[in-house]
Chain A
Amino acid sequence: NAGVTQTPKFQVLKTGQSMTLQCAQDMNHNSMYWYRQDPGMGLRLIYYSASEGTTDKGEVPNGYNVSRLNKREFSLRLESAAPSQTSVYFCASSEASGRGLNEQFFGPGTRLTVL
C-alpha cells in the first residue's frame, strides 16, 4: 500500500511556464484534495474533488486547474506559473468529504519554485 503518491518531488519553473502535478491514491478513497503550504499560513485548500467526476474550488483556486482523471488520480495544473505560486503542494485523500468524520491522508509533497 503506497498510500498517496505525488510526482514530481521538486520542480523549478520560469514565470509563464506550465506544468502538471500528479497525484494518485491506492486506498479507494472517494475524495481528493490539493493544498498549498506557505510558511506561517498552514495549509490552504486549492481545489477538491468530493467524488469521481466532480471538482470544486477551495480557498485559493486562482491560477490553477484540476482534473479528476479517475477515482485514483487527481492532477493540478498551473497554466502560466507566477512567482506567487512558489510553494509546497500537497495532495490528500479521504473516504468522503464534507462530513469531517474521516481523516485525510497526505502525500509527501511537491516543492515548486517559480523564478
Chain B
Amino acid sequence: AQSVAQPEDQVNVAEGNPLTVKCTYSVSGNPYLFWYVQYPNRGLQFLLKYITGDNLVKGSYGFEAEFNKSQTSFHLKKPSALVSDSALYFCAVVPYGQNFVFGPGTRLSVLP
C-alpha cells in the first residue's frame, strides 16, 4: 500500500536556526513529491514539488527540499527559521497516474 510518514508530530526550533521537517514514503515506482503548508483556519498552500532532475528543489518562502531515492525521503529544509513559519506542514506523494497521498502532518513551532 502507498503510504507517507512524517515521523515527528511536532518540531520546535529557535528563530534564526535551520529547520528540517522529515518525510519518508513507501510507494511503487518513481512518485512525484510535494510539500504543502497550512496556517491556522486556512486551506493548504503549495510550497514546492519534485518531479525529476536535481535532487534539491527550491520553493516558496525560502524553503527547499532534498529528494533521496535510496532512502525514499523528501525532507523539507530552511536555512534560517522565522516565527511566521510556524504552521502545519504536509508531505504528499503522487504515484504515477494516481491521486495524492498525504502524510499526517508535522506541526512546526518557531520560538522567538
Measured between alpha carbons, how far is A42 from B99 in the docked complex, in Å?
14
**Chain A stretch 1-49: residues in CB contact (< 8 A) with chain B:** 4, 33, 35, 40-45, 48
Chain A nearest Cβ from B29, distance in angstroms:
11
Is the Cβ of A101 less than 8 Å from the Cβ of B51? Answer: yes
A71 vs B58: C-alpha distance in the bound complex, in angstroms? Answer: 32
Chain B contact surface mostly: loop
Is B70 interfacial (CB-CB < 8 Å)? no
User: Is the pair B43, A107 in contact by a Cβ cutoff of 8 Å?
Assistant: yes
- Measured CB to CB, the closest approach of chain B to A100, in angstroms, equals 3
**CB pair A40 B97 closer than 8 Å:** no
A74 interfacial contact with B, CB 8 Å = no
Asked if B43 contacts A100 (CB within 8 A), the reply is: no
Q: Are B32 and A101 within 8 A (Cβ)?
A: yes
Most chain B CB neighbours (cut-off 10 Å) among A48, A100, A104? A100
In addition to A100-B51, A100-B94, A108-B41, 7 A-B residue pairs with Cβ atoms within 8 Å of each other are: A40-B9, A43-B100, A98-B99, A100-B98, A103-B46, A104-B44, A108-B42
